[in-house]
Amino acid sequence: MAEGGYLVDVQDITKSFPIRQGLFLSRQKGSVLHAVNGVSFRLKRGESLGLAGESGCGKTTTGRILLKLCEPTGGRYFFNGKDVTHMNHGHELKEFRKQAQLVFQNPFEALNPRFTVFRSIAEPLIIHNIGSKSERADLVKEALEMVNLKPAEAFFDKYPHQMSGGQLQRVVLARALVVKPMFIVADEPVSMLDVSIRAGVLNLMGEIARSMRLTTVYISHDLSLIRYLCDYTAIMYLGQIVEIGPTEKVLCEPEHPYTQALISAVPSPDPDFKGGELKITSHVPSPVDLPRGCLFQDRCPYVESVCRQVQPDLRERGASHAVRCHMVSGAIEAASTA
């Protein structure tokens, strides 16, 4: 286990993409799109984190970095005590990929339509040279039973087009679990499923994570999903984490204005609930031309002069809770009395 008991340790990770000149796109040479801007967090074995925020905030890019599907521009990434930041070839990378798996958003596109269920789930075992032919059959059966596709043998010879969306998502989950990973990244794992079957899949994922002591990162727009499944929640805006902490603290007592705006936009089933909507203005700034100071300044209802000059740090607000805001950290009060 990693030093301090952390399985996943992300330290100030950044990711930028160079922008190419095009016929209808005129940008200054050397312009870059800032997808991730200094993301840091730690997770121990068995802990879960939800990444939430608007589309384009960097959630999926962060998830891709965690799985080594793209290389970070800066920062360091430690997995199980080993620096994997720039690990890009050889046996060590293959071993990492066995330990860190992805649950895809769209099960209809995640499976090869020409492969049977058995072949799809056995593919990771073949790639990692795990077990004999008979042992692989036992492992596939075990994985299918784990995701409640029983009797497992009845699904071996089925093709994706012969199964429902809920069944396909369970097959995708079984394929991720068959190699016995320690870490799972689930990118919008139930967004493509009917509402009627989401609860069953979510319950299943939670039970499996607890029984296998999986460290999990859930990427989702759905705050109710994150609240249900995750120990911790990180709210992202323009590639930065603006608030992170225990899920109940972040979602029930939000301190950053952006988190408050997200929470206020969630409808309540209580007809007598009179929630106050937090008004945010303007649109999300361009990730190419980031503003000086706080990235949320143009939309924040509490913006002050210090917000336009100095970018706030992510500061501790309590046990495992941190917020990136001058108003919360006291910088605005200090500036006004200076």
Return averaged pLDDT per consecutive 10 residues of the chain, 338 residues in all. 78 91 59 92 96 92 95 95 87 93 90 96 95 95 96 96 93 96 93 84 93 96 91 96 96 93 76 63 82 91 91 89 86 46
pLDDT of residue 334: 46
pLDDT of residue 291: 87
pLDDT of residue 337: 44
Q: Before 151, cis peptide (omega within 30)?
A: yes
175 occurs within a structural domain: no
Short-list 85, 91, 5, CA closest to 42: 5
Q: What gap in Å lies between CA 226 and CA 221, rounded to an integer?
A: 9
320 occurs within a structural domain: yes
338 occurs within a structural domain: yes
pLDDT of residue 335: 44
Q: What gap in Å lies between CA 92 and CA 68, rounded to an integer?
A: 12
288 occurs within a structural domain: yes
Short-list 179, 166, 78, CA closest to 123: 179
334 occurs within a structural domain: yes
pLDDT of residue 274: 57
323 occurs within a structural domain: yes
316 occurs within a structural domain: yes
pLDDT of residue 285: 83
Number of domains in the chain: 1
The parent domain of residue 282 ranges over 254-267+276-338
192 occurs within a structural domain: no
Radius of gyration of the chain (CA): 22
